[in-house]
Amino acid sequence: MIICMCDILCVTNRHLCREDFLVRIEKIAAARPAGVIFREKDLTKDEYKELAVQVLKICEKYKTPCILHNFPGIAAELNGNALHLPLPVLRGLSPSDRAGFPILGASCHSVKDAAEAESLGCTYITAGHIFDTACKEGTAGRGLAFLKDVCEHVSIPVYAIGGITPENITAVRMAGAQGACVMSSAMTWDDVSKKLGEFG
């Protein structure tokens, strides 16, 4: 699915940045993660498209895959080849629309979700949240047993999300995951390349 030495996907949240968002995107893209999921859920379609044009340009400069999120029409209009969707949005896409994206992912929160995403043509999924995280404060992580169960029920790559750190990434991989997603930390690391390297 995504050919890269790194198996970490960086998920964006511009509200967490301590610097200009596009400066942060450039630092992330230059560090060559497995991909950047441009997520920004609070933007309107027009706002998302305007920013996506700039994010795609930066990622292309460093040959880092950019995975657009939530807006299939915008992704198609911008000739994006990678798209990540919430499962309800994925269900609404026609088979021909889904086939238009060589890289297609979905966010899954159960084994049933994962199996459905695979049946709908996804080339990878994210599964979570695995560990307790500030982004899901008050909601316990589903744990490694959940991750292992998901990985055993699909044949496509699974990327764990939620509280993933260099300290627990080995356990995540041992559970069967292809890799993991990071969001809060990726938006705030002082040295992105160094921190990505710590995931081994």
Given a cut of 70, whether residue 138 has pLDDT beyond it is no
Taking 90 as the threshold, does the pLDDT of residue 163 lie above it? Answer: yes
Residue 97 is classified by DSSP as H
As a whole-number percent, the residues of the chain with pLDDT over 70 amount to 95
Which of helix, strand or coil describes residue 125?
strand
pTM: 0.94
Nearest-CA neighbor of 187 among 33, 14, 30?
A: 14
The yes-or-no verdict on residue 133 having pLDDT over 90 is no
Radius of gyration of the chain (CA): 16
Provide the pLDDT for residue 139: 76
Mean per-residue pLDDT, 33-57? 97
Question: Which pLDDT value is given to residue 5?
Answer: 54
Residues 6+ away with beta carbon under 8 Å from 92: none
Q: What is the pLDDT of residues 96-123, one digit of tens each?
A: 999 999 999 999 999 999 999 999 999 9
Cis peptide before 129 (omega within 30 of 0): yes
Give the chain's mean pLDDT: 94
**Which of 128, 89, 86 minimizes the C-alpha distance to 106?**
86
